[in-house]
Amino acid sequence: MTLKTLTKDQFNEFVNKLIASNRVVGVKEKEKKFFVFDKLEDTAELRLDYDVAYLSPRKYFQPPRETLLKFTTKPNVKAEPVVEAKPFILLGVHPYDMKAINQMTTVFTKDNEDTNYLARREAATIIAIDPQTATDWSFWPWMNATTVDKGWDLFITDIGDAYVDEIGTDKGKALLEKNAQATDATNNQAAKRDEIRANLKNLCKQDRAINVPANDIGALVAKSEDHPVWEENAEKCYSCGTCNQVCPTCYCFDIREDLNLELTGGERVRRWDGCLLQDFASVASGENFREDRANRFRHRIMRKCTYVPQIVEDDLACVGCGRCSSQCLPDIADPVKIINKLAEGK
């Protein structure tokens, strides 16, 4: 483990140098307490003290809408793949969102590799950061997402008068050496970093605790298929799919061909989809395998806790960011309430 430090002024100079010669995406405050990942024009825009970004960085690896290929039908049938992946730096990723990116990379790498996703992942340089605050909805300590030890190129921790920078990859090392005058972290600085990390779990409110160990959640959910909680919550569900759209670990998509007006060609487009949407499980024959709203509601939680963990090495596909909970109008999407309800009768 290699630890470096930058004073606050040195860090600002570092970021400005990055912006001058790279596309840098970081967290900005659009409105009071409303944070988003967006392109940075100046260091002054960057807010590393944010609690949570409205949308996760997922959109920079799997865009809400992307063209996969362009084709012609006249005079000859021809198709050309489209892969758009320009280098960029992603600055200020919290551990829970980094964990989600790692899961998506595993999903899009196993079996049939997704060329578009992996090209964008390779084009990214990720600078992660320890959280300094959390929302009232956050529960990442109980989902094993307080820290993450892979995926990032640099990891920074604010220790008050400076940033401690951990180098994760050769790409991160080269970026730091080229754009900053970092010095080796002292023992006191390293100890301060360890102290801050040890207390990260205390940023989240205790009333957001899940009353079952993370390693037992999958088995609990798997045996709860007939629990009344699914019907009870589904009665209030709008099937709007907001919980899917804001989730950093949701990656489902729909694909369609869009023809031009002359019917001489078009493009194949991939768009975000969500399992709470009414037609998510509809097929060409007209059958809908999850027409019942309660089935869709149950599927979302089971996907997070039992299905995806089979792909990503028993890692829960809920990282505790709290986005779904905070954005659900009828207040039924909260995994904390659902899992604790299931745990009451275990």
Model confidence pLDDT, tens digit, residues 227-263: 999 999 999 999 999 999 999 999 999 999 999 998 8
Model confidence pLDDT, tens digit, residues 76-103: 899 999 999 999 999 999 999 999 999 9
Buried b (16+ CB within 10 A) or exposed e, 22-58: eebbbbbeeeeeebebeebeebebbebebbbbebbbb
pLDDT at 27: 98
Give the domain range for residue 325: 2-344
pLDDT at 330: 95
What's the domain count of the chain?
1
**CA–CA separation, 126 vs 105, rounded Å?**
14
Bridge pairing between strands 88-93 and 124-129: parallel
pLDDT at 346: 57
Residues of the chain short of pLDDT 50, as ranges, are none
pLDDT at 340: 96
